[in-house]
Structure 1
Amino acid sequence: MKLPLIMLSVVIALTACSSSSTGRTQVMLFSDSELDKMGAASFEDIKNKTPISTDKATNDFVQCVAKAITKNVPQSVHKGDWEVVVFDSAQVNAFALPGGKIGIYTGILTVTENQDQLAAIIGHEVGHVIEHHSNERLSANKLKNMGMAAATAAVGMSDIENKGLWMAGLGLGLQYGVIMPYSRAHESEADIVGQELMARSGFEPSASIKLWQNMAKLSAGSGQGSPAEFMSTHPSNQTRIKKLSQHLPNSMKLYQASNRPNCQKPKVIPLAKS
C-alpha cells in the first residue's frame, strides 16, 4: 500500500533541484518557455472572454503602479515590457502570468484605497511569477496524477478490500496533504516577496497589511465567511496579516532607500454591472 507514495517520493526527490528566494525547495518539471507560452495563451483567452476597460483615468492609474512595480522585477523573470490589462468586471480579482502578463479587474479597485494598496496586489501577483509558482502547481498536479496511476496499478495487483474507497481516500490525502498546503505556501511566499517588491518600488509596505484588513472586512460583510484554513488554498486573512506585520521591518528598509511614485487613483472607478 505504501508503494505508490514511495514512488511519488522518489520522483520528487529526483526532480527537486531548485529553491525559491525564501529557501523553500521547489519541484519544477516544465521549462520557462513552456510556461511563457501557456501564460500568453491563457491571457489571450481571458482578453477574448472578458470586457476590457476603456476608462482612461482608471487605466492610467493601474499602468502607473504596474510600471513602477515591474521595472524592479529581475530580467531573468521576464525580459521586455509587461502587458497590463484592466478588465471591466466587478470581480474582486487580479492575476499575473508567466510571460509578463498582468490582469487587474476593476472590482478590486473598490477594495484598494490608494496606489500603495494596489501595489500590494500587483506585487503579490507578480511575486507568484517571480517564484515560479505556476510551474510548481502544474508539476504538483502532474506528480499527483503519476502517483494516482501508480496507486491504481498497485491496488489492482493486491487483495485489498474496498479498493474504490481506498483510492478515493488517497485522492483526498493528496489534495489536502500535498496540493492545498503547496498553494498556501505559495500564497504566503508571494505575500512576502510582493511586500518587498512594492517597498523596493517606492510604495509604503504597511499598505499590504491594510489591504488584507480590508479583505477581511469584505469577507465578513459578505456573510459567506471563509473555509477552515486547512481546507483552503489560501491562508486566512489573519495569518497573512500576522506574517506581513512580522516581515514589515525588513521591507521598510527597502522602502526608505526607494523613490516614491505618484500614481493618482481616480475619484470614480466605472464598474461593470456583473
Structure 2
Amino acid sequence: MKRIGSLFLLVVGLSTGATAQIRINPNLLQGGIDALQAYTLSDAQVATLSRQAVQQMDAKNPIAGPNDPYTLRLNRIVSRHRTVSGLPINYKVYKIPDVNAFATADGSVRVFKGLMDIMSDEELLAIMGHEIGHVINRDSRDAMKSSLKRSAIRNVGASSSGVIGQLSRSQLASAADYLVGAKFSRDQETEADDYSYDFLKRNGYNVMALASSFEKLAKLSGGNGGGKLTTFMSSHPDSKTRAERIRARARRDGLVR
C-alpha cells in the first residue's frame, strides 16, 4: 500500500504541475499512470488487456483457417477441453515454423505449426496443459502486470526520442512485450508442469506424453533445432531434467515401472 500511495502521489503531482510554469512531458504522466495501473488492475482488467494483446498478435501472424489441416487436427485434440478448470479456452494455430506455444490470462492458447509438426496429439495436449497451467496459477496475470511496469519505464525513458516514444506508447509494443517477453521462474515452471501432469492424469491420458515432449525439446535444444526453438526454450528450465522429474513422479504414482 505504501508503494501504491507513492505512485498515486507521482500521478497527482504530475497532473497538478501542468498548471504551473513547468512544462510536463506527457510521456512522464503516462508512465506514472501505467505504473499505478500495474498495481491496481483487477483480474478482469488483466484478462481484457490480454485479449487485446492476443488480437494484436493474431493480426500480425498467419492463422490457420477453419478448414486447414492444422486447425482440424487441433480441434480434434482439444474437443473435450474447450473449458479447463472453469476457464473458457480459445485455440488457434499460427502457421509459423517455430517450435512454440503460449497461453494468456484471458484463456487464449496459440500453438505454432512447428510445434505441431514434431509432437503427437497427447504431447501437444501436455504442452498446452503446461501453458494453461501458467494461466490457472496466475503467472500470466502477473506477467501482464510486469509488462505494464516495463511500459511505464519505457514511457519515461523515451520522453526525448520521438521514434522510440511512439513505439513505447503503441499497443503493438505492449503486446509484443507481454507475449514474447514474459518470463517465469523455475518454481512457476515446475508448478505448471505439475498442473499439466495432473490434467493428463485426470482426463485419462498418458502422463508420459509430458516427459516425451520434454525429451523431444531437449534433443532440439542440443543443436538440431536451430533458431526455431530459441524463444520457447529461453524461458524454460532444462527439458531433460524436467522429463526425468515427470518419469520419477509417474513411477511413484505406479503409472509406469
The interval holding the TM-score normalised by the smaller chain is: 0.5 to 0.7
The answer to which structure, 1 or 2, has the higher relative contact order (CA under 8 A, 6+ apart) is 1
Unaligned 5+ runs, structure 2: 4-38, 153-181
Displacement of 1:208 in angstroms is: 0.6
Match of 2:63 among 52, 68, 80: 52
Q: Which residue of 2 aligns with 1:244?
A: 246
Q: Which of 107, 113, 118 is the matching residue for 2:114?
A: 107
What is the CA–CA distance in structure 1 between the aligned matches of 2:55 and 2:186, rounded to whole Å?
Answer: 27
1:116 matched to 2:122? The reply is: yes
**C-alpha offsets along residues 84-133 of structure 1, whole Å, 9 cap, x if unaligned?**
11111111111111222111111111220x21111111111111111010
CA 60–98 in structure 1, closer or farther in 2 if over 3 Å, else same: same
AA partner of residue 99 (structure 1): D
Q: How does 1:143-154 map to 2 (within 5 A)?
A: none
AA matched with 1:109: M
* Equivalent position of 1:133 in the other structure: 139
1:156-195 alignment runs, 5 A limit: 183-195=185-197
8 A contact 1:123–1:197 mirrored in 2: yes
| Alpha-carbon spacing, 1:252–1:104, altered in 2? closer, same or farther (3 Å) | farther
Q: CA deviation at 1:182?
A: 5.0
Verify the 8 A CA contact 1:111 1:211 in the aligned structure 2: no
Name the aligned partner's letter for residue 127 of structure 1. G
Q: Does 1:35 align with 2:60?
A: no
In 2 relative to 1, CA 110–90 (structure 1 residues): closer, same or farther, beyond 3 Å? Answer: same
Identical residues among aligned pairs (%): 24
Cα 1:223–1:138 change in 2 (3 A) is: closer
Please tell me whether residue 87 in structure 1 is matched to residue 98 in structure 2. Answer: no
| Cα distance in 1, alignment partners of residues 109 and 147 from structure 2 | 24
TM-score when normalising by structure 2: 0.62
CA 1:48 to 1:142, structure 2 compared with 1: closer, same or farther past 3 Å?
closer
Q: Which whole-Å CA distance do the structure 2 matches of 1:109 and 1:135 have between them? A: 26
Matching residue of 2:11: none
Q: 1:252 to 1:127 in 2, by over 3 A?
A: farther
Deviation at 1:210, TM superposition (A): 0.6
Residue deviations 1:69-98 (CA, integer Å, cap 9, x gap):
344x222xx2xx422111111111111112
User: Structure 1 pair 223/42, CA: closer, same or farther in 2 (3 Å)?
Assistant: closer
Q: Tell me, in whole angstroms, the C-alpha distance in 1 between the residues paired with 2:41 and 2:60.
A: 27
Letter in 1 for 2:101: A
Q: How many residues align?
A: 188
> Are the counterparts in 1 of residues 122 and 206 from structure 2 also a CA contact under 8 Å?
yes
Contact 2:96 2:112 in 1 (8 A): yes
Runs of 4+ off more than 4 Å: 138-146, 249-253
Asked if the contact 1:205–1:251 (Cα under 8 Å) also holds between the matched residues in 2, the reply is no
Q: Which amino acid aligns with 1:67?
A: S
1:199 aligned residue: 201
Rounded Cα–Cα distance in structure 1 between residues aligned with 2:50 and 2:147: 17
Measured on the aligned residues, the alpha-carbon RMSD in Å equals: 3.4
| Cα displacement (A) at 1:66 | 2.3
